[in-house]
Chains A and B, each alone.
Chain A
């Protein structure tokens, strides 16, 4: 009976079931809501700024490291800037870096993985050795070197682009360049198993070009684990960004990110611990929420739970 019901389920029905399975995952559902609120709050940071009648760049040397007050709900930092607004703007940067870098990684990784898995042989060996090589690279020292490269000396004129933006692009670029290996391996594995499925053989027998087989028959059927892995990696990237910024190699002040806010707060640890606790808490919550979200998606998108 249940078999029949499932067998006749329409695509919309499947989507509904997936949503249902996801919502049953309490932590994942709560995480999705928390992340949604974080996104909204970050997106509306300029509005909050205007409503509160403060400018994020306002340095108020008469109000350094103040506790919470009516004018500054979370207090002020070591330069007298409003902590709440800086946290929201920092969230913009951290979430942007996390998501964009994760998506770039997923695209690069999927492309390399599907090519390696589908064509096999020498191309596979070559691409997988490159992947192993990238995994083996000592990433932190390399990042320190990359972060220290002065683009203007390499011939890039810094016209129109300010330093802060460059540090943002740089960190996204660097994380994507080193972060695709996991997805590449995942995609290669999925491609190898899908390649043996009869519908892929059938497509080749019906005259489909390799490009079409990969695009129509392999990629859509391998995308669920990639979505899960990408979601899980966002948390890691946000952590990574905060580590780099904490070391002074990531997002450059005065642009706030959760990582460089931690960095700025470290000298004030003994007299103003809240300056460190707030951004630390934001990173903690966001990373945790992305991990729960990934777990929830894993269950919801699990193909074994579907009658395909």
Chain B
């Protein structure tokens, strides 16, 4: 009875994906036999919800942990701690056959269309593999489905017989998208799906992804470092820095009123053809590299590069605070009423 109640509550919720306090730490070999083994804090306590039918963006520079977060949600990276719920079902603890069966509900599109397709399989076999492996339908249904998928992503069904090297980059990415769609998943993780493509092709692929989303009510977890692409695609956005979410808001708030100094720096680093924008005096420049994810500094992880950092920032780690409706930020300098750091406000 209780279980039934729980089930009802779970299906009621509009969140498809709920990630809580996700941690992925990679242990390194011990250097000192008396100390505990050092580890890389690739993802260090990430939480977010994704509503059904929306696109959730994860943004950050290289090494911020956004791809590792995506791989962990796909259960392709080892999870140290935390909880991931898909459709209300906890998937962190699944293993073996139940995990394999769960995979039909979540699929992934990879960044590099040249390395994400096995060079020795034909495009049709690649798209068909998930159907075969997860026992979807019978032979006839699978054949029809593969042909339909090719049409859906803008390829011709005859092209099933070709090998990956016979396609262009954009076409390969379409094959990757068809493969991800094959089992009719609820969640599709897009790991920088266009960053390896030409700009003209990028737009085609992004529009294809949006069209498919509208048609099938897909939910995307969209990983990118390109803020222009994120603004085009995402409803909610989390900015990651060194394994943590440092700001989390809907698209309008994040692009309209960024609060965290790092988010501001990212936004002002977007290349612009407009000289007025380019030479703005209030551009925030960030110099240097992020600290090592092995030996983390005690205070705010961004303090070493933050132009506004105070003593408190270097001593005390800020929490992710809710500033306004749906707008969270991890910074001491942002006041509770939502004013950005004083230097930024000017």
Contacts and interface: CB of A to CB of B under 8 A. Distances in A.
* Chains A and B are bound partners: yes
B99 to A, nearest CB: 9
A133 interface: no
A8 interface: yes
A154 to B, nearest CB: 43
Size bin of chain A's contact surface: 20 to 34
Interface in B168-189: 168, 176, 179, 182-183
A206 B182 CA distance: 9
Interface in A185-201: 197-199, 201
Contacts of B179: 202, 206
Contacts of A201: 71, 76, 108, 110, 116
Contact of A199 (B100, B107, B118, B163): B118
Contacts of A217: 118
Contact of A7 (B110, B111, B165): B165
Nearest to A9: B165
Contacts of A7: 165-166, 168
A216 B133 contact: no
A198 B165 contact: no
A215 to B, nearest CB: 12
B342 to A, nearest CB: 45
Contacts of A221: 118-120
B240 interface: no
B110 A220 contact: no
Considering residues A8, A11, A201, which has the most beta carbons from chain B within 10 angstroms of its beta carbon?
Answer: A201
Interface string B106-129: 111011101111111100000001
A203 B121 CA distance: 12
B22 interface: no
B100 A207 contact: yes
A114 to B, nearest CB: 16
B37 to A, nearest CB: 16
B66 interface: no
B106 to A, nearest CB: 8
A208 interface: yes
The SS class assigned to the A binding surface is helix
Contacts of B164: 308
B126 to A, nearest CB: 8
Contact of A205 (B108, B112, B114, B121): B108
Interface string B138-179: 000000000000000000000000011110100000001001
B104 interface: yes
Contacts of B340: none
Nearest to B122: A11
B74 interface: yes
Interface in A1-55: 7-11
Given A10-B166, A205-B103, A209-B100, A199 B115 contact: yes
A63 B106 CA distance: 82
Considering residues A10, A205, A209, which has the most beta carbons from chain B within 10 angstroms of its beta carbon?
Answer: A205
Interface in B58-107: 71, 74, 76, 100-101, 103-104, 106-107
A295 to B, nearest CB: 24
B299 interface: no
B134 interface: yes
Contacts of B106: 205
B290 to A, nearest CB: 23
Contacts of B100: 207, 209
Contacts of A202: 108, 110, 116-117, 176, 179
Contacts of A208: 129, 133
A205 B76 contact: yes
Nearest to A303: B119
Considering residues A197, A204, A206, which has the most beta carbons from chain B within 10 angstroms of its beta carbon?
Answer: A206
13 contacts: A198-B112, A198-B116, A199-B115, A201-B71, A201-B116, A202-B110, A202-B116, A205-B108, A207-B103, A207-B130, A207-B133, A216-B118, A308-B114
Closest 5 CB pairs of A and B: A198-B116, A206-B130, A308-B119, A207-B133, A198-B110
